[in-house]
Structure 1
Amino acid sequence: MVHLHLAYTSKINPTGATPVLNESQVWAGLQRKIRFAQEFVPVIESCNVLEEKDGIVTREVKFKPGAGPKNQAKEVVRSYWPSWVDFEQEDGSHVRNLISNGSSGGLDDLHMTYAFEFIFPHIQEGSPEAEKELQKVKSLSKQAVESSIDAIRQMVIDGRIKQ
């Protein structure tokens, strides 16, 4: 069994990005991402909310064939305003989407980090297959963070996210 742990961080408002996003807009984007993951992460094909109770969402996401770390995942999603959203999968895998401030505290120092713990029960530790999955997940993590920020920015532009 292989446990892969990694994280990727990107600036939400790099130099020249418009519009400049604030924490409330990013948070609203993450809340939309819970229900419409395919709008934010290109490797996700569909997202179906199964239950929503007491602020906890249970959903099933399907990944595009061969694109995700698995074919599908059932997740329990919890939000922790204003800092992170936690996605817990049935197999024990976790993904956490974090909004954080840099040392200046300004909007130009706002960051998004995705932290991943993926469990692959059928892969042997140290095997070539484990290394292949690690490289795939590294690439997916960068893509997931940056595409999510881009999607949120576009949704602010087109009015799907207000504030």
Structure 2
Amino acid sequence: MVHLNLAHTEPINPAGTSITLTGAQIWTGLQRKIRFAQEFVPVIESCEVESDEGGVVIRRISIRPGVGPKSEARETVRCYWPSWVDFEQDDGTHIRNVISQGPSGEPTDLLMTYMFEYRLPEVEEGAQAEKELQRLKGLAKGAVEKTIETMREMVRDGRIKE
């Protein structure tokens, strides 16, 4: 079994964005992403919430065929307001969505980082693992960018309020 670890960070409000997202809007967006992951992450085809009690969400996601490192996952999701959401899969894979303050300290200077700890029994050490790591880095970048883009669109159309 190969363990692949990676992270990707993007500025949430780079210069020239049409809508500046606030910390509260981003947190609201992450709460929606827990329950409707397919709206935010292109590789996720569907998301079914099995339980939502006491701040812990159990959900099952389906991954588009041939895109993700697996076809589905059952996840336990915990929130750590206002900084991150933790997704733990039954196989030990761990994904964290982190909101952090940028270097200026301004309220709108925010960063989003996705951190991944993949457990991939079907991947072999060496060249295959390196190839998979590079592929997953591209997916991570796309997931962060799409999440931010989707949150901005949801503020624009009113699904996320101030």
Output aligned runs, 1:86-125, within 5 Å. Answer: 86-125=86-125
CA distance in 2, matches of 1:65, 1:124: 20
2:8 equivalent in structure 1? 8
CA distance in 2, matches of 1:162, 1:36: 17
Give TM-score scaled by structure 2 length. 0.97
Q: Which runs of 5+ in 1 are unaligned?
A: none
> Paired residues, what number?
162
Q: Which runs of 5+ in 2 are unaligned?
A: none
Alpha-carbon offset, residue 18 of structure 1: 1.7
What letter is aligned with 1:91? D
Output aligned runs, 1:18-57, within 5 Å. Answer: 18-57=18-57
3-state DSSP of counterpart to 1:104: coil
What letter is aligned with 2:154? M
Contact 2:12 2:111 in 1 (8 A): yes
Alpha-carbon offset, residue 67 of structure 1: 1.0
Deviates more, 1:129-138 or 1:52-61: 129-138
CA distance in 1, matches of 2:5, 2:99: 19
Alpha-carbon offset, residue 108 of structure 1: 4.3
3-state DSSP of counterpart to 1:145: helix
What letter is aligned with 1:155? M
Contact 1:86 1:96 in 2 (8 A): yes
Q: Which runs of 4+ in 1 moved over 6 A?
A: none
Residue 62 (str. 1) matches residue 62 (str. 2): yes
What letter is aligned with 1:31? Q
Contact 1:13 1:107 in 2 (8 A): no
What letter is aligned with 2:88? E
Contact 1:77 1:87 in 2 (8 A): yes
Contact 2:92 2:119 in 1 (8 A): yes
Determine what percentage of the aligned residue pairs are the same residue. 60
